[in-house]
Amino acid sequence: MSKKLVLVMLAILIAATLVGCGTAKPAEKQTVKIGFIGPLSGGGAAVGIGAKNSFQLKVDEVLADGTYPYNIVVVYEDDASDPATGVAAATKIASDPDVVAAATHWNSPVGLATVDIFHKYGVAQVFWGTIHRDIIYGNDYKEPVRVIPTSEQSMELAAEYAVKFDRMEWVIINDTTDYGTKIRDEFTTSLEKRGGKVLEAIGVTVGQQDFSAVITRVKELNPEGIFYAGVTTEAAGVRIQSVKMGLTDVIFMGPPGIQSDTFGEITQADAEGTFVSGTFDVNSSEAGKAFVAAYNAKYTEPFEQNGPYAYDSAAIILEALKAVGPDRTKIVDYILSHTFKGVIGDIQWDEYGQNGVGGLTMYVNQDQKWVKFEDSEYASGVRTFPWVK
C-alpha cells in the first residue's frame, strides 16, 4: 500500500470523525433503578400504599425540571407485612445490579428479616417505617438507616402521658410478634421508670378475633389503662370488645402501629378518646403542610402515618445518588455521613444510622380521626374524656 493511499484514508477517517462530532446527540442520561418495598396488600396495605405514593411524589418532584442527572425507575415490591414475602422482595431488588438503593418496610418483623439481605448485597436500605430497635442497633451494618424514630423513643412519650393523666396502673395486651413484644417491654420499662406499674401483660395473636377471655381478665385486674402493643386490626377488635364488655372508664392507648385512620373507621364511636403515641405531625411545619397539599393534589388514598417518612427517604436516596453517582458503596457511605433536610425536619443519624428527631406526637381520637393532642378539643376542654371517672 502506498504512503499516499494511507494518508488519504487517514484524512477521510479524521474528517468522518469530525463530522460525526458535529452531529452527535448529547449523551443519553443513564437510567438508574431504586427500590421501594412495603405492604401493598394485606392488613397493612393502606399504610404501604400511602408510603408508596409519597415516595413516588418526591421522585416526580425531583425529576420534574429535567436537570436531575439520571433517569430514575422505581421498582415497587410488595412485602404483604409478611417476613417471608419481604425476604423474597428484598432479594429480588437487592440482587438486581441496576438497583442502587431502596426504601423499605412498615413492619418490624419484615425489617428484621431483610436487613441481612441488603447488607449482603451492599445496598443502602432507608427505612421509612418499622420501629424495632434491633433493626438498626442489633447489627453493625452500614447499609440500614432509619428515618422514623425508634419504639423506645415512642414508648417514653407514651409513659410521659400516662403520668400526665395520672394513670399509673396498666394492663398491656400485646400481639406475639417481635413488634408487639418489643413494644410491651419498652412501655413497661418506660412506665416503671416513672413509678407506674404494669399489672399484667397478656399475649394475643395477630389474626385473633375473639378477645373476650382477655378482656374478662382485664376487668378482673381493674387497671386504669389498657395499652395495646400491636397493630390496627387487632387493636380495633380489642377496643370494640372492651367497650362492649363495659370497660369504658379505662384509658386506651397504643403505639404508632395503630396510628391508621382505619382504626377510627372500624371502631367508629368506640374510638373516641383513645390515644396513640404516634409519629410526625404534618401540620406542625410549613414543609409538612406543603407536602400535604402536593400529595392531596395527586392522590386520593390517604398518605397515612408513614407518608412523610417515605417522602424523605426518596429525597435522601436521590440526593446521595446525585452526589456520588450510581455506586452502591459510595451511596451507603454518603447517606451515613451526611445530614439531610426533610419534611420532618433535619435528619441526622447517630453512629448506627438512626435518625434522632422526627416529631413524635401524642394523638387523641376525635370523631374517628387522630388529632394532635394539643390541638384537640379534649386539650382545650371543649370535650371531656369518656374515661374520666
Contact footprint for other proteins (CB under 8 A): 41-43, 45-46, 176, 202-205, 207-214, 216-217, 219-220, 232-233, 236-237, 240-241, 244-246, 262, 265-268
- Rounded to a whole number of angstroms, the minimum distance from the CB of residue 231 to other proteins is 10
Q: How far is the CB of 274 from other proteins (least distance, A)?
A: 15
Closer to other proteins by Cβ: residue 245 or 294: 245
Q: Which is nearer to other proteins, 91 or 241 (CB)?
A: 241
Comparing CB distances to other proteins, the nearer of 66 and 207 is: 207
CB of 317 to other proteins, least distance (A): 27
| Rounded CA separation 68/58 (Å) | 13
What is the H or E stretch that residue 47 is in?
helix 45-63
Q: Could you tell me which of 162, 150, 89 has the C-alpha nearest to residue 125?
A: 89
Looking at the Cβ atoms of 203 and 325, the one nearer to other proteins is 203
CB 147 within 8 A of CB 355: yes
Q: Least Å distance between CB 236 and other proteins?
A: 6
Q: Which is nearer to other proteins, 154 or 174 (CB)?
A: 174
Radius of gyration of the chain (CA): 25
Compare residues 135 and 173 and give the one whose CB is closer to other proteins: 173
Provide the CA 118 distance to its chain's centre, in angstroms. Answer: 17
C-alpha–C-alpha distance, residues 344 and 53, integer Å: 17
Query: Which residue, 82 or 143, is less far from other proteins as judged by CB?
Result: 82
For other proteins, the closer of residues 241 and 285 by Cβ is 241
Smallest distance, other proteins to C-beta of residue 266, A: 5
Cβ at position 183, least distance to other proteins in Å: 15
- CA 134-93-255 angle, to 5 degrees, is 35
- Enumerate the β-bridge partners of residue 229: 174
Q: Which is nearer to other proteins, 267 or 376 (CB)?
A: 267
The grid cell for 72 is 430514575
**Nearest approach, Cβ of residue 244 and other proteins (Å):** 6
Residue 88 burial (CB count, 10 A): 17
Query: How far, CA to CA in Å, does 265 sit from each of 127, 369, 370?
Result: 27, 8, 11
- DSSP string spanning 188-244? HHHHHHTT-EEEEEEEE-TT----HHHHHHHHHH--SEEEEES-HHHHHHHHHHHHH
Distance CA 188, CA 181 (A): 10
Min dist. Cβ of residue 353 to other proteins (A): 32
Strands 340-342 vs 345-347: parallel, antiparallel or unpaired: antiparallel
- Residue 208 CB, shortest distance to other proteins, in Å, is 7
Rounded to a whole number of angstroms, the distance between the first and last alpha carbons of the chain is 108
